[in-house]
Amino acid sequence: MVPFMTKATLLIVDDEPNILTSLRRALELEDFHAITARSGSLALDAVATKAPDLVLLDVAMPEINGIEILRRLKATWPDLPVVMMSGHSTIETAVEATKLGAQDFVEKPLSTERLLITIDNALALGRLREENARLKAARGDEGEMLGSSPVMKRVFDVIHKTAPTLGRVLITGENGTGKELVARALHEGSPRVDNPFIKVNCAAIPQDLIESELFGHEKGAFTGATRSRKGKFEVADGGTLFLDEIGDMSASAQAKVLRALQEGEIERVGGTDTLKVDVRIVAATNKRMPEEIAAGRFREDLFYRLAVVPIELPPLRERRSDIPLLVEHFLGHACALHGRRPKDMDQAAVTLLMQHDWPGNVRELKNSIERLVILTDGDIHDADVQAILPSVKKVQTAYRRGVALREQIAAAEREIVLGALTDNAGHVSKTAEALGLERSHLYKKMKALGIDHNA
């Protein structure tokens, strides 16, 4: 019987040499690595030197008894699995050991089969706890929004001011910019935080089912409606309803959503009863809503109902100065998620990532960092980035013989600023945000480089 594929280290603590020897041999035959300690003080020293995967601890020990050793072990290493052994245990002793955190209790003389099952179960539970702790750490603040660029500071300010209110919010931005994170931040900063946050992806639901999804239906309302069902408006009552990709909603559903916003009332599909709902709506879309309205694909009156507070999220290429902060965060998250030791990324690699346009925005950057963590053995360098992320190209700069360094730097800066201006349709404020500069600083730099912003 081999309880685990990987060799676990077991510490056996008993004052009887014969028991230590026989147990160590039996466990080594089962492919465990067994170490021994003949006293409580030696056991504490052994654990302090290198914590084992599990401790087999005798209750009756000279100097320090097993219960006191257990107390000290759990005070310093609370997650260390400990199985108690005793030849003359009482119910009171077993209860006390369990209260102190012992995983199990076995009686002497020991049955090898029973002991191996106990060890197997204790190790399995310990590893499950470790995995849960690792996943919890990996998730950690995964949903946290990060950024110190001027444009993100403004986004955070709007969220901070809007979250405690009932104001409806329309979040716009390209895919991958973090629209759901904004919606969750608004909910978590609101008085509704203890009530449901319900998400509906309007683009992922067939048009003939979107009304049933939002408003529910009565039994027999349509083929397949074998029972009555609540819609998302009802489920989110008292909380926040996040309508993602609202621009893809059908005209019929738009009309019903408008009524729900105006009246605070809904009707289930196939029903006649009017239901009152108290829901805060946060909507999001990657579409340009003025164009959708002009083309007749989205109701103008619904747009203004939704966009009481508009929040536009910038693409990552317009806030490149946030990339180092995001890289550091995603590195730690990916290492924890995949059980890798913490990795560092050198400045050359970070610079290379900052040069990329990231069409998939923050989501693409996060996935790329995760790929680097999985496929790179050690710390991450620019060569690793170029090898594993071939789409990330290094900006080439050419040395010009006979031209002073200052002039070459100025020429390079001029090309960068001109490129950023072109990318932002000549909008100086957006260009400043994309370059991580204050607008006044960019104006000065443009003047020094001979760039006419009115050209």
CA distances from 453 to 248, 371, 423 (A): 38, 40, 14
Task: Please report how the helices 150-162 and 428-435 are oriented relative to each other, as an axis angle in degrees rounded to 10.
Answer: 100
Please tell me the predicted confidence (pLDDT) of residue 409: 74
Please tell me the predicted confidence (pLDDT) of residue 313: 96
Between 434 and 201, residue with greater pLDDT: 201
Residue 304 makes CB contacts below 8 A (sequence gap 6+) with none
Judge whether 55 and 104 are in contact, CB under 8 Å: no
Which of 183-192, 396-405, 416-425 has the weakest average pLDDT?
Answer: 396-405
pLDDT tops 70 at residue 264: yes
Antiparallel, parallel or unpaired: β 104-107 and 82-86: parallel
Domain residue spans of the chain: 9-139, 150-314, 318-388, 405-448
H or E element in which residue 112 lies: helix 112-139
Burial of 199 (0-12, 13-18, 19+ CB in 10 A): middle
Query: How many other C-beta atoms are found inside a 10 Å radius of the C-beta of residue 371?
Result: 13
Give yes or no on whether 9-139 and 150-314 have one common fold.
Answer: yes
Which residue reads 């910019």 in tokens?
177
Pick the CATH number of 405-448 from 1.10.10, 1.10.3470, 1.20.1270, 1.20.950: 1.10.10
Radius of gyration for the alpha carbons in the chain, expressed in angstroms and rounded: 31
Judge whether 331 and 371 are in contact, CB under 8 Å: no
Q: Which tens digit of pLDDT belongs to each residue from 223-232?
A: 888 888 889 9
Judge whether 185 and 162 are in contact, CB under 8 Å: no
Burial of 435 (0-12, 13-18, 19+ CB in 10 A): buried
Find, among 152, 261, 164, 260, the residue nearest to 216 by Cα. Answer: 260
Segment 336-359 shows an average pLDDT of: 88
Query: How many other C-beta atoms are found inside a 10 Å radius of the C-beta of residue 88?
Result: 9
Torsion of the alpha carbons at 124, 130, 132 and 138, rounded to the nearest 10 = -150
Torsion of the alpha carbons at 28, 32, 33 and 34, rounded to the nearest 10 = -60
pLDDT tops 90 at residue 452: no
Find, among 266, 301, 309, the residue nearest to 284 by Cα. Answer: 309
Please tell me the predicted confidence (pLDDT) of residue 14: 93
Please tell me the predicted confidence (pLDDT) of residue 454: 61
Q: Which tens digit of pLDDT belongs to each residue from 34-70?
A: 999 999 899 999 998 888 999 999 998 888 889 999 9
Between 397 and 391, residue with greater pLDDT: 391
In this prediction the pTM is: 0.60
414, two tokens: 């001029």
- Measured on CA atoms in the order 60, 65, 69, 70, is the torsion positive or negative? positive
Please tell me the predicted confidence (pLDDT) of residue 42: 92
Which residue reads 């080439």 in tokens?
396
Residue 160 makes CB contacts below 8 A (sequence gap 6+) with 189
Pick the CATH number of 318-388 from 3.30.1330.30, 3.40.50.300, 1.10.8.60, 1.20.1300.10: 1.10.8.60
Please tell me the predicted confidence (pLDDT) of residue 280: 95
Between 340 and 412, residue with greater pLDDT: 340
Q: Please work out, in degrees rounded to the nearest 5, the angle formed at the alpha carbon of residue 9 by the alpha carbons of 7 and 12.
A: 140
Q: Which tens digit of pLDDT belongs to each residue from 196-218?
A: 999 999 988 887 788 888 999 99
Residue 24 makes CB contacts below 8 A (sequence gap 6+) with 12, 34, 35, 36
What count of residues does the chain have?
Answer: 455
Please tell me the predicted confidence (pLDDT) of residue 398: 56
Please tell me the predicted confidence (pLDDT) of residue 68: 92
Please tell me the predicted confidence (pLDDT) of residue 169: 97
Q: What rounded mean pLDDT belongs to the chain?
A: 86
Which of 138-147, 331-340, 342-351 has the weakest average pLDDT?
Answer: 138-147
Please tell me the predicted confidence (pLDDT) of residue 430: 85
Please tell me the predicted confidence (pLDDT) of residue 92: 80
Segment 444-450 shows an average pLDDT of: 83
pLDDT tops 80 at residue 3: no
Please tell me the predicted confidence (pLDDT) of residue 142: 45
- Measured on CA atoms in the order 413, 419, 423, 429, is the torsion positive or negative? positive
Cα 23 to Cα 26: distance, rounded to the nearest angstrom: 5
Q: Which tens digit of pLDDT belongs to each residue from 68-111?
A: 999 999 888 888 899 999 877 677 887 888 888 888 888 888 88
Please tell me the predicted confidence (pLDDT) of residue 397: 54
Just give the CATH number of 9-139: 3.40.50.2300
Domain 150-314 CATH class label: alpha beta
CA distances from 185 to 39, 182, 239, 321 (A): 54, 5, 13, 22
Judge whether 68 and 60 are in contact, CB under 8 Å: no
pLDDT tops 60 at residue 140: no
Q: Which tens digit of pLDDT belongs to each residue from 156-179?
A: 999 999 999 999 999 999 999 999
Q: What is the 3-state secondary structure (H, E, C) of 333-395?
A: HHHHHCCCCCCCECHHHHHHHHHCCCCCHHHHHHHHHHHHHHHCCCCECHHHHHHHCCCCCCC
